[in-house]
Amino acid sequence: MYGLAYRLTGNASDAEDLVQESYIRAFRFLDRYDRSLSFTNWMYRIVTNQHIDSIRKNGKMKVSSLEGMSTNGMAFDLPDETQCPDRALLRDSVEDELDWALKAMTPDFRAAVVMADIEGMAYEEIADVMNTSIGTVRSRIHRGRKQLRSYLQKRNPEKFLELERATEERS
């Protein structure tokens, strides 16, 4: 739950708060849990809805500096088969750019992209968590990836090209 919360909020403190509030909400409404459904998906839905509710309540999401934040395993964990220092440097800079890009996304799109591309969830699971249709999930993932691509391309075209090349090499 913390990994999802961290990607949705963009920082450790807010992620901890989100997880805590989500567990409180889950405990309070445990009697409404349908045991025929996946408990993990139910919790993902609570975390996602709690995050969206807090954004609606508090207005726009605050963007804070990434300086001083450690990546302590919570950033994109891209494997480095060659273990070359220049590849590690590129990976770290890509992680920072992706963190910024995720923060700039619309909350529903961010949630769908995080669940699909980072958490590795199937579209059906995401639809269940977000309480929407699979078509809407596909649309949100497509539009979210488009937002990521656009943000990265505008913010730093050179790094965007490096990221595109790195992605092609992995494929």
pLDDT at residue number 64: 47
Task: Tell me what pLDDT residue 67 has.
Answer: 43
pTM of the model: 0.55
Q: Which residues of the chain have pLDDT under 50?
A: 61, 63-73, 75-81, 86-91
Architecture of the domain delimited by 2-63+78-170: Up-down Bundle (1.20)
The DSSP 8-state label assigned to residue 15 in this structure reads H
108 close to 139: Cβ distance less than 8 angstroms: no
Q: Which residue from 165, 128, 106 is spatially nearest to 38, judged by alpha carbons? A: 128
**Residues ≥6 apart with Cβ < 8 Å to 160:** 149, 152, 153
Instruction: Write down the pLDDT at residue 119.
Output: 84
**71's tokens:** 């990546």
pLDDT for 144 equals: 92
Give yes or no for a contact between 134 and 123, defined as CB atoms under 8 angstroms apart: yes
